[in-house]
Structure 1
Amino acid sequence: MKFEIPKFREPDFNQDFLKNAPNCTLEQCPEDGISPENYHALSVYPEYFKINGKWVLATESRMDTVAVAIDEEGKEKVNIVEFRNLKKGDKVVIGRTENAEEGIYMWTKGFESVDSNEDNFAFRSGRSRETAFSIDYDNLYELLKHEKANGGYITWVIGSAVALDKNARDAFEGLVKKGFVDAVFCGNNTAAIDLENGVYGSTWGQDIFVKEQNTNNNIYETINLARSYGSMKAFMGSGKVEDGFIKALYDRDIPVVISCSIRDRLPLPEAYTDVYKAQDAMRAHTRKSSTIIMLSAILFTIASGNMTPSYNKFNGEIRPVYLYTVDIQEFAVNKLADRGTLTATSIVTNTQDFLRNVNRSLE
Structure 2
Amino acid sequence: MSTFNHPDFGAEKFSRAPDARFVPAPADGVLPEDFFSTTNLPTYVKVKGKWVMPREPRMDSALVLDHDGVLWIREGRRLKKGDLVAVGQDEDGSTGIYVHVSAFLGESAEGEFKFMTSEVSREKPIDYALMARILVEERERGGYPVWVAGPALVHSRARNDMAWFIENGFVGAMLAGNAVAVHDIEASIFRTTLGMTATGEATSGGHGLHMRAINKVRAAGSIANAVEQGIITDGIMYSLVKHGVPFVLTGSIRDDGPLPDVITDALAAQDAMRAHTLKATMAILIATALHAIATGNMLPAFVTEKDGSLRELAT
Q: Same fold (TM over 0.5)?
A: yes
- Structure-2 residue corresponding to 1:320: 312
Cα separation, partners in 2 of 1:207 and 1:86, compared to 1, 3 Å: same
Which residue identity does 2:144 align to in structure 1? Y
Which residue identity does 1:286 align to in structure 2? T
- Structure-1 residue corresponding to 2:4: 8
Q: The residue matched to 1:109 in structure 2 has which SS?
A: helix
Match of 1:286 among 272, 277, 280: 277
* Contact 1:22-1:50 at 8 Å conserved across structures: yes
CA distance in 1, matches of 2:199, 2:83: 54
- The 5 A counterparts of 1:119-134 are 123-124=118-119
Match of 2:181 among 186, 191, 209: 191
Q: The residue matched to 1:44 in structure 2 has which SS?
A: coil
- The 5 A counterparts of 1:6-155 are 6-70=2-66, 72=68, 76-111=69-104, 123-124=118-119, 136-155=127-146
1:161 aligns with 2:152: yes
Q: The residue matched to 2:53 in structure 1 has which SS?
A: strand
Structure 1 residue 101 displacement after superposition = 2.0
1:177 aligns with 2:173: no
- Structure-2 residue corresponding to 1:303: 294
Which residue identity does 2:166 align to in structure 1? V
CA distance in 2, matches of 1:212, 1:176: 30
TM-score normalized with structure 2 length:
0.88
CA distance in 2, matches of 1:275, 1:215: 31
- Structure-2 residue corresponding to 1:274: 265
CA distance in 1, matches of 2:285, 2:299: 12
Per-residue CA deviations over 1:207-242 (Å, capped at 9, x if unaligned) read: 445168995322111111101111221111101111
Per-residue CA deviations over 1:114-147 (Å, capped at 9, x if unaligned) read: xxxxxxxx9439xxxxxxx9x9233222211111
- Structure-1 residue corresponding to 2:110: none
Q: The residue matched to 1:281 in structure 2 has which SS?
A: helix
Structure 1 residue 111 displacement after superposition = 4.3
Higher mean C-alpha deviation, range 304-313 or range 210-219: 210-219
Which residue identity does 1:261 align to in structure 2? S
CA distance in 2, matches of 1:70, 1:205: 53
Per-residue CA deviations over 1:48-79 (Å, capped at 9, x if unaligned) read: 1100000012354322100002475xxx5320
Identify unmatched segments of 5+ residues in structure 2: 107-116
- Structure-1 residue corresponding to 2:238: 247
* Contact 1:28-1:89 at 8 Å conserved across structures: yes
* Contact 2:211-2:256 at 8 Å conserved across structures: no
Identify unmatched segments of 5+ residues in structure 1: 114-121, 126-132, 324-363
Higher mean C-alpha deviation, range 184-193 or range 157-166: 157-166
Which residue identity does 2:81 align to in structure 1? K
* Contact 1:58-1:80 at 8 Å conserved across structures: yes
User: Relative contact order (alpha carbons < 8 A, sep ≥ 6): 1 or 2 greater?
Assistant: 2
CA distance in 1, matches of 2:199, 2:264: 29
Cα separation, partners in 2 of 1:187 and 1:211, compared to 1, 3 Å: farther
Q: How many residues align?
A: 299
CA distance in 2, matches of 1:108, 1:101: 15
CA distance in 2, matches of 1:55, 1:291: 27
Higher mean C-alpha deviation, range 104-113 or range 173-182: 104-113
Structure 1 residue 30 displacement after superposition = 2.9
Structure 1 residue 35 displacement after superposition = 1.3
Q: The residue matched to 2:64 in structure 1 has which SS?
A: strand
